[in-house]
Chains A and B, each alone.
Chain A
Amino acid sequence: MDRLIALVACRWRMDLRRLLGARERAFGLLFFVPGALVFSALGSMIVFGVFRGLEGTEPELVLPMASAAATGIGLFWAASPLLAGVVLSEAADVSRLMHFPIPLSTLAVSSLVANLAQPAALAEAPILVAAAAAVAGVNAIRFPAALLGVALTFVLILACAQVAGLLLHGLSRQRRLHDILLFLGLAAGLLLSLAPLLLLTSGPGGLATVAHALSARDVFMASPYAWGVRAAIHAGRGQAVPAVAYGLLATAAIGGAMAASAGLVQGIQRGHIAMGGGAVRSRRPSRMALPGALGALVEKDLRLAWRDPGLRAVLVMGLAGSIVVLFFLSRGGPSLASGTPVLLLASFVGVSTFGSNALGMERRGIALLLLFPVDRWRVLVGKNLAALTFRLPSLLTLALATVFLAPPTYVPAAATIAVLTLMLSAGVDNYMSILFPMAVPGAAANPYGRAAARGRGLGAAAVSLMLLVLALVLSSPFAFLAWLPALLGRPWLWAATLPLGLAGAACVYAMLVAGAARLMEKREPEILERVLVEA
């Protein structure tokens, strides 16, 4: 017990220091803490309202729906890049402690207990209380029992996330498999997070279909995530036997997850979990194809992005973002015939290069890049070109969407607006990257960890907002020029306005890059210092 207390206290002390020492603590206090409170309050109200409403109108749906929700949340936490990052980092910490004579179960439990104090976990506490209150009311016996039940599910969710992190850590010996799983995990997390949104926007019909499918076949009854919640519901209804039975099952599931964690820690440490052959050696020639320093810079970024699961996920998420916007645009709102949805989508795709963080994406490679005697404008243009290339899937989506949302003649104009906004947003974002350099966290790095990215601070957030507005302001005259023929109803004018718009935007981009390159030369040591400390 002494060891467990020491381990948990040590972890909490480090977490607290990290939070207090973080540069973005003012930003956190102003935005994240109120955000978390609002999330807790809203979450509590929704959970309470849904439980009470269902219990009153369709009580037979409560168990299957709650089971499905608990399972969905559990899977999301296990697959979520954020939380998988946390548990992965924890898993690495746990394996670092292996040479001490500490029982493996103590190591696994200490990590679980310490995770309960993470901000993301604490924000869930009011929701758990609301869920218990919804199913049990204020009954002095049923309420604690129901709270225990939902708490068991929550602890199991954390324990399974820990197992997932350890598994990922074990798989890191087989890099390619690790990368694929991480990428799939990120994609699954994204899809799971989009699922409720799509379900809600599909209207009452969609929800009803899902609810009836779930009630007809209570398939999630077998999900361990559901057992604690089911225990809580039975406790709330005063059904002691099933409540105790599900409670015991949930406790056993937590024990199983802890045992699996301990086993994984041991297996990883002793090399029992050799999931693959380790390094993939190759003597095949692998040359860079694009010519010149600029070509090498672009090719380097493209190759790195394609081989890095985290960066590759950015591509997929960028694509998913435009599809989601398209989904909402296609559900009515502005008139389709006017082409306004296309204009909005083109601007959305275009502004997506803002925040591409050219220098921070280099992480520790920044020290290498800045050692090369390459003109800094080439470095910036190379990074921007790569960022633009990453947005090609979004551009394709835009082109396809335009065909459905507006007359096909709008495609060149929409593409031009997207490209010029992409270009100018990237040009403006260079300043953000130079003035407030921030290393992007590595794939699966703990986003709360000191070694991963920190925020840029409150002042930087304000400057970022101003620069985003600047990017839109700079793009607007050229976007207007590109859209003018549509407004006038004279499509043939596009032959003149589109090249003019692009040329004008290119001139502004060149000026932006020239200024940014000069600024970068002056600030190189500061950029390096900042990114290297964080990376």
Chain B
Amino acid sequence: MDEASHAIVVSGLTKVFRQKTAVDSLSFRIARGRFFGFLGPNGAGKSTTIKMLTGLLRPTSGDASIEGHPISGNLLEIKKIIGVLPEELPLYERLTGEEYLHFAGRMYGLSAAETRRRTDELLEFLSLAEDRGTLLLDYSQGMKKKVALAAALIHNPRVVFLDEPLNGIDPISGRIVTDLLRRMAQKGVTLFFTTHVLDVVERLCDEVAIIDRGHIVAQGSLDEIRAQRAVGQDASLEDVFLKLVDADVRRQDLTWIG
């Protein structure tokens, strides 16, 4: 595939915090319209990678481009075409859900009428209409996640970064959200998705990259990874994941228990 057909191209991306290398020479490409799962244990470098790709962190070295716009260039151009759902939700908690979506729409340059129309649709879609006038402070964690997701989608982004989007969301809303994301991918939106829930990745993602201690240890479709790592075709993603990150899960019993 040529570079123009890729939504995200990452080349030698590195981030060093003081002496600690959080992300080490990452390189990968994601084609347009792919549902890309980015997996790894805690502290592997997933959120750092997302922050660099969305312009919230400056890489120590390397570069990346989103829809052809380099992250070392004009970040505003990138921010116009991406939607981001961060893992920690830095919402303005003393705005109501509806005010917050109106604010996000204006920030993305939508007209007042279009912002209102999309806000109403999003609130209905995500079952938040009953709480449109409630302060975000009074929202549950799952509701906050949904409103943050709505803000990330209000401007019809071409690439969406989702950091643990299903944390704290109830199963019904989770299903609504995953169905929506799947349909977005079918319409050509590229989704960059991190989660610890591996069965969701198995269900949704076309392609997966597994990162461990700042390095990508495997990338491809699940079948390709299974084949690369010589695990059986019936092996679950959890088995593959544990093998790839070299996780030692065997432990002795605690001496004082029982």
Q: How close is B2's CB to chain A, nearest CB, in angstroms?
A: 27
From known contacts A307-B94, A375-B76, infer whether A175 and B138 are also in contact, taking CB-CB under 8 Å: yes
Provide the bound-state CA to CA distance between A532 and B103, in Å: 21
A307 surroundings in chain B (CB, below 8 A):
94, 135
Provide the bound-state CA to CA distance between A64 and B77, in Å: 70
A55 surroundings in chain B (CB, below 8 A):
none
Q: How close is A514's CB to chain B, nearest CB, in angstroms?
A: 16
Q: Which one, B38-46, B82-90, B188-196, B229-237, is touching chain A?
A: B82-90
Chain B 46-73: CB-based contact to A (< 8 A → 1; otherwise 0): 0000000011111000000000000000
Asked whether, in the complex, the Cβ of B99 is within 8 Å of the Cβ of A286, the reply is yes
Provide the bound-state CA to CA distance between A135 and B84, in Å: 66
From known contacts A175-B137, A296-B103, infer whether A365 and B57 are also in contact, taking CB-CB under 8 Å: no
Asked whether, in the complex, the Cβ of A303 is within 8 Å of the Cβ of B102, the reply is no
Is A99 close to B, CB under 8 A?
A: no
Q: How close is B84's CB to chain A, nearest CB, in angstroms?
A: 5
Is B106 close to A, CB under 8 A?
A: yes
Q: Which one, A349-357, A383-391, A490-498, A522-530, is touching chain B?
A: A522-530
Asked whether, in the complex, the Cβ of B103 is within 8 Å of the Cβ of A300, the reply is yes
A374, closest chain B residue (CB): B107
B137 surroundings in chain A (CB, below 8 A):
175
From known contacts A296-B106, A304-B95, infer whether A529 and B57 are also in contact, taking CB-CB under 8 Å: yes
Asked whether, in the complex, the Cβ of B107 is within 8 Å of the Cβ of A282, the reply is no
From known contacts A279-B138, A370-B56, A528-B57, infer whether A287 and B98 are also in contact, taking CB-CB under 8 Å: yes
Chain A 279-291: CB-based contact to B (< 8 A → 1; otherwise 0): 1111111111001
Asked whether, in the complex, the Cβ of A281 is within 8 Å of the Cβ of B106, the reply is no
Q: Which of B73-125 contact A (CB under 8 A)?
A: 75-77, 79-80, 84, 86, 88, 90-92, 94-96, 98-99, 102-104, 106-109, 112, 116
Asked whether, in the complex, the Cβ of A372 is within 8 Å of the Cβ of B96, the reply is no
Provide the bound-state CA to CA distance between A526 and B55, in Å: 11
Q: How close is A300's CB to chain B, nearest CB, in angstroms?
A: 5
A279 surroundings in chain B (CB, below 8 A):
134, 138-139
B109 surroundings in chain A (CB, below 8 A):
293, 373
Asked whether, in the complex, the Cβ of A283 is within 8 Å of the Cβ of B96, the reply is no
B interface bracket (residues with beta carbon within 8 Å of A): 35 or more
Is B248 close to A, CB under 8 A?
A: no
Asked whether, in the complex, the Cβ of A365 is within 8 Å of the Cβ of B90, the reply is yes
Asked whether, in the complex, the Cβ of B106 is within 8 Å of the Cβ of A303, the reply is no
B151, closest chain A residue (CB): A368
Is B131 close to A, CB under 8 A?
A: yes
Provide the bound-state CA to CA distance between A296 and B103, in Å: 6
Is B146 close to A, CB under 8 A?
A: no
Asked whether, in the complex, the Cβ of B56 is within 8 Å of the Cβ of A367, the reply is yes
B80, closest chain A residue (CB): A373
Asked whether, in the complex, the Cβ of B133 is within 8 Å of the Cβ of A283, the reply is yes
Name the contact of A287 in the complex, choosing from B58, B99, B108, B131 (C-beta under 8 A): B99
Is A292 close to B, CB under 8 A?
A: yes
Asked whether, in the complex, the Cβ of A285 is within 8 Å of the Cβ of B108, the reply is no
A293 surroundings in chain B (CB, below 8 A):
106-107, 109
A300 surroundings in chain B (CB, below 8 A):
92, 95, 99, 103
A364 surroundings in chain B (CB, below 8 A):
88, 90
Asked whether, in the complex, the Cβ of B92 is within 8 Å of the Cβ of A368, the reply is yes
Asked whether, in the complex, the Cβ of A373 is within 8 Å of the Cβ of B76, the reply is yes
Asked whether, in the complex, the Cβ of A524 is within 8 Å of the Cβ of B75, the reply is yes
Provide the bound-state CA to CA distance between A197 and B54, in Å: 52
B55 surroundings in chain A (CB, below 8 A):
370-371, 524-525
Name the contact of B92 in the complex, choosing from A278, A304, A370, A529 (C-beta under 8 A): A304
Using a CB–CB cutoff of 8 Å, the interface residues on chain A facing chain B are: 175, 278-288, 291-293, 295-297, 299-300, 303-304, 307-308, 364-368, 370-375, 521, 524-526, 528-529, 532
Selected A-B contacts with CB under 8 Å, 8 pairs: A281-B131, A284-B133, A285-B132, A308-B94, A364-B88, A365-B90, A367-B86, A371-B79
A283-B133, A293-B109, A371-B54 known, 6 other contacts, Cβ within 8 Å? A281-B130, A291-B112, A364-B90, A368-B90, A372-B107, A525-B56
The 3 closest A-B pairs by CB, nearest first: A279-B138, A282-B133, A296-B106
